[in-house]
Amino acid sequence: MKITDLRCAVIGDNPVVRILTDEGIDGLGQAEDSKPYLKPYVLFYRKYLLGEDPTDVERCMLKIRRLGGFKPWGAAVSAIEFALWDIAGKAAGVPVYKLLGGKVRDQVRVYNGGVRFHMGGSEPEHYAKVMQQMKDRPEGFSIIKQGIAFHSPMPVEVPDFSYGTLQSGPPHPNRGPLTEKGLKHIIACVEAMKSVTGDEVGLALDCGPGFTVPDAIRLAKALEPYNLMWLEDMITGDYTPYVMADLYREVTRATSTPIHTGEQIYLRQNFRELIETKAVNIIGPDPADVGGIAELKWVAEYADLHGILIAPHGTIDGVIGLAAHVHCAAALPHNYIALEYPYARHAWWYEIVEGLPDPIVKNSMIDVAAFNRPGLGVKFNVDKAEKYLREEDKGFFDD
């Protein structure tokens, strides 16, 4: 079998990858809906893959992996990797998780990081209100992650929140020392959310990036009585092209509150210091950014050897990304907590992609058996999907 074409179309806001072969088997991959600009990044790799056997996934990845990098290049590489595994599974006649070593679990737990409601403000009552709305969701989420501090409008909406100069522009641009008022405000909002979740739902907090080390320690210690699932990306994180493992280690060693990072990190090599120095308690690589599902599994196993847990990021990876998540999570070791549920922002995604269970999530779990078809187990309903193609992508589904 040989690759005859690599295509990319932006459907909605999600870049979708399609790899074609000379045996008529194709494979699908998908990137985050925050990256509608990714198409030329994906097509950059086309010349390196034409003529290769897609079922030799690792050989194909060796040709393109080192040409990637932290967001967004890693996203292009990762989406291609999803499509290669989709082909490999179809060619072998088995679900992708079988090629990853087989199931460890029959159901995979998910947490809510993307099903959101309008906040209406940054006061404790606003946080309590949306937490109740998320707790009442039919998915029955057992863990909910909420953005606070520098991963929220707090720096702008809460007067005298920090001593830093307010910035605008790219995602989560603010950074600086907290005022005492800012610190107390965060704690009050956590108290309000915990009054809703109690011990029935685990509460995780997406915090930054933006914290200084002293403030990260101060907040983590203050929140110890609340038994949080984790504090995420306090020092570095989303769209930060470096790790700063030494700074995370200072925070982790100073508190019993679990510390988490990793969604932006590309490749196992860039997790090495974080894991080997035990700089965090939990890592959160995103299969759509780390280099794919096999790369995530490698990182998860290495983390397990060092006593570190894993809760993969993935809130906007799309429904094809969801399938990739499920296959990967099914085969992860026992340091797995839950994956961040990829929730499509356009309801029509659930109409144009076939193979998804209905409902997808029950009691915070997804049945792996729902994806027990060769490859990733999902496919487009082409007749329904074609109307969402942009003019320049009209030939995407052609053979």
Instruction: Note whether 282 and 307 are within 8 A (CB).
Output: no
Question: Among 135, 134, 183, 174, which Cα is nearest to 155's?
Answer: 174
Instruction: Note whether 75 and 16 are within 8 A (CB).
Output: no
User: Residue 263's pLDDT is what?
Assistant: 97
pLDDT one-digit tens code per residue, 315-325 = 999 999 999 99
Q: Which two tokens stand for residue 301?
A: 């196993």
User: Residue 168's pLDDT is what?
Assistant: 87
Cα 28 to the center of its chain, rounded Å:
18
Rounded CA-CA distance 184/168 in Å is 24
Question: What domains can you pick out in the chain, each with its CATH number?
Answer: 3-93+380-388 (3.30.390.10), 99-376 (3.20.20.120)
What pLDDT tens digit does each residue of the chain (399 aa) get?
Answer: 999 999 999 999 999 999 999 999 999 999 999 999 999 999 999 999 999 999 999 999 999 999 999 988 999 999 999 999 999 999 999 999 999 999 999 999 999 999 999 999 999 999 999 999 999 999 999 999 999 999 999 999 999 999 999 988 888 899 999 999 999 999 999 999 999 999 999 999 999 999 999 999 999 999 999 999 999 999 999 889 999 999 999 999 999 999 999 999 999 999 999 999 999 999 999 999 999 999 999 999 999 999 999 999 999 999 999 999 999 999 999 999 999 999 999 999 999 999 999 999 999 999 999 999 999 999 999 999 999 999 999 999 999
Collapsing DSSP to helix, strand or coil, 147 comes out as strand
Q: Which two tokens stand for residue 177?
A: 């020392």
pLDDT one-digit tens code per residue, 104-122 = 999 999 999 999 999 999 9
